[in-house]
Amino acid sequence: MEKQSIKEYMEMYCKMTYGKTVKHATTAEVWSALSTAIMSQIVDRWYVTNKAYKSQKMAFYISAEYLMGRALGNNLINLQEYDQVKDLLKELNINLNEVEEMEEDAALGNGGLGRLAACFMDSSATMHLPVQGYGLRYRNGLFKQCFKNGEQVEEADEWLKYGDPWSIRKEADMVYINFSDMKVKAIPYDVPIIGFGGATINTLRLWQAEPLCEFDFNLYNNQQYDKALEQKNRTEDITRVLYPNDSTEQGKLLRLRQQYFLVSASVQDMVRDFKRRHGNVFDDFAKWHAVQLNDTHPVLAIPEFIRILVDEEGESFEKALGTARKVFAYTNHTILQEALEKWDAYLMQKLFPRIYQIIEQIDAALVQELREKGYSDDRINMYHIIKEGKVHMAHMAIYVGFAINGVAKLHTEILKNTELHHWYELYPYKFQNKTNGITPRRWLVLANQELSSLITEKLGSNEWMMDLSLLKQLTKFVEDDEVLERLQSIKYTKKCQLAECIKAREGIEIDPNSLFDVQVKRLHEYKRQLLNAMYILDLYFRLKENPNLDIPKVTFIFGAKAFPGYYRAKSVIKLILAIGDLINRTPEVKDKIQVVFVTNYSVSYAERIIPAADLSKQISTAGKEASGTGNMKLMLNGAPTFGTYDGANVEIVAESGEENNFIFGLRVEDINNLRNNYNPKEYYDKSPDLKRVLDAFIDGTLDPANTGCFRDLYEALLVGKNWERPDQYYLLADFKAFKAMQDKVFECYKDRRKWAQMSLMNIANSGAFSSDRTIMQYASEIWGISPIS
């Protein structure tokens, strides 16, 4: 990129947009001007990439989430222009880091599902693969989190308040979406996804819901102002918030409307483009399109595709279904039944009756196929798409999809052998594994520039940034004291940077000389933040009894959001905050341990926390975590894994060695053996330490006002609630093993050279977890697409 042209563009933009020069612009205005200037430099390459892709088969990735993070820094890294732009701004007396801090995280995702989709987009562009993403352009994300009176409070996440220079509104590509009660416009906003090196620029197309008419003039003129805007508000609700609360029927209808809006707009877009290039004969549609459904949220794309071919293009249902079975593939991200969507049939009939009719036809076709195979009615009942008044979205995806994949080896085996075993028996050839990955550009090159520079120096080039397997060469430095000392120095630098960030954002001082024990991820019971909290509370009691307990100083860092309607998850956050307050009030303990729960955990916060982590807590109940990607990011930045034998932890340990990690607790087979005879009360009765911890939930230790706010957590572990058995995620069964392994962590951490060696071995063996590898496997083994030359 030309320095002078960027300067001139920024100057022109500031004058035209803000009526001032760059010199007098605010930092937010500089961010907008710089981002727009960079967009002006890449649009030609973006156009060329799109044109090249049209000449061959493409894959289309439909996802309800894309947790993109900030765009400016990542795009500069991928353009390999970060240092040049930093120098350019320095000439203007502008600090690039301050400009980056002005950018709001795009509120298009929440957890691992969305972050994986973002990594896949990055890797697709880097690998020159013809892949386009489809998603929704939410005006607000899930929510912005803060803590008041010791508990989570949700506020609107207004990520667009400074504008959106990283997308282009494509009014000409608008489509209409029809519901039974309303018709709305879907307006696409195209976001450039810049591949590393900048030669290839892919597209993420995000749909925004807009009304056919801004307001009813006649109602407005009659002074019925709210009524005049009612249709506009109902329409904009569709893309207002990521995952609206669906605890009521109205919430469910909005969620379902949101899903149909996404898939209808995306499928219409694909069909329209196909017709422009290939005409109205759909026999070859699968030759040019592979559509990946990221979890069950976009599965309505299947009946919508069939509807368009049947109702609008004159195809027979049988032919349209046959085409769909060559086009769609499905990624399963969980074995949790609550996340395998089952929608009430009457809701679908209410919103889009024609789609429900087509689902009935798909179900009938499945039943016919099973009867032809000799299946009995009782056996067929296991497979029904419509069953007991509900539409089973995963069943529809598996029946119609030509490929079904899990996201880690253990997860895929569980799908095949237990959770989806009957489907695996029916279609063994459909099932595949695609272990998740992460992009090293954002999670190391951008987030940890100090470590990235050391790796490039020691390997002699930056080729590892596109081939992460080259990190394996770092193993030759495992006895090199100079490298190990530099590695420790870089970790300390990142810890100091995080300490400054936490002080600025949270008003809390933490000690960078302490062990940073990190658990950052979505808040869910199976991820067991509560088990970590129970251990910390036990450590508190032990330190109170013996302030001279021989452990290193520890800072326990949490980051997580609990869904607004997930009461128990919010109680866990409240508990952790209460433990932190208890420690702070206890002089003999607070100098040894500290608990920090950061607010509004996000991609940009993760970019600070992950490089600074000494230890990566990945403690989900064995068999429940499909994969995880936070574990990979922390490994890449040198944090040993403290975790269960679950998800991708299994593969992490296989790559870097169990001796360089801390694996504890029950395994899947242990839980299977224990399940029918599990009585958590036995652990409570036999362990005075565990009893003391749990009693603190209800005896006033953590709740001095005796409000009973933690009784639900106590009873969920020991008594059970409603239909749940007690301690359904086996916290009590794993507590003793957790405690023993954490003591081993403290002992190991005292030998700083040995710890640095463990850290180096994790970095060196993280190459298998590049999303570049994952996306190339999708391309060759599922989608049948090739990189463009």
Q: DSSP label at 284? A: G
Q: How far is CA 521 from CA 373, 468, 679, in A?
A: 44, 24, 29
- Among 629, 641, 644, 701, the active-site one is 629
10 Å Cβ neighbour count for 526? Answer: 16
333 is catalytic: yes
DSSP codes of every residue in 672-735: HHHGGG--HHHHHHH-HHHHHHHHTTTSSSS-TT---TTHHHHHHHHT--TTPPTTTT-HHHHH
Residue type, 288: W
- The answer to whether the CB of 291 falls within 8 A of the CB of 330 is no
Regarding beta strands 390-392 and 328-331, do their DSSP bridges make them parallel or antiparallel, or are they unpaired?
unpaired
* 555 is annotated as an active-site residue: no
Strands 58-62 and 289-294: parallel
Whole-angstrom Cα distance, residue 157 to residue 139? Answer: 8
Q: 95: which 2 tokens? A: 């600090």
Q: How many whole angstroms separate alpha carbon 184 and alpha carbon 186?
A: 7
- Annotated active-site residue in 307, 521, 592, 739: 521
Candidates 608, 624, 485, 596; CA nearest to 532 is 596
As a whole number of angstroms, the distance between CA 560 and CA 51 comes to 41
User: 58-84 as b/e, with b when 16 or more CB fall inside 10 Å?
Assistant: bbbbbbbbbbbbbbbbbbbbbbebbee
The interaxial angle of helices 481-506 and 449-459, nearest 10 deg, is 160
Q: How far is residue 594's CA from residue 606's CA, in Å, rounded to a whole number?
A: 19
CA nearest neighbour of 411 among 646, 617, 631, 656: 646
| Active-site residue, selected from the candidate residues 70, 441, 522, 739 | 522
486 is annotated as an active-site residue: no
- In the set 494, 527, 528, 773, the catalytic residue is 527
Instruction: Check if the beta carbon of residue 187 is closer than 8 Å to that of residue 171.
Output: yes
Nearest to 448 by CA among 774, 3, 759: 759
CB 260 within 8 A of CB 291: no
Token pair 């919010």 in the structure block, residue: 570
- Is 527 designated active site? yes
E strand segments, 143-243: 144-148, 151-155, 168-169, 175-178, 183-194, 201-210
Q: Rounded CA gap, 760 and 120, in Å?
A: 26
Residues 6+ apart with CB under 8 A from 351: 179, 180, 181, 253, 256, 257, 260
Helix or strand holding residue 404 (H, E): strand 403-406
Residue 373 a catalytic site member: no
Give the Å distances, CA to CA, from 200 to 49, 53, 127, 169, 304.
6, 10, 8, 21, 31
Of 121, 123, 124, the closest CA to residue 109 belongs to 121
List the catalytic residues: 333, 521-522, 527, 629, 633
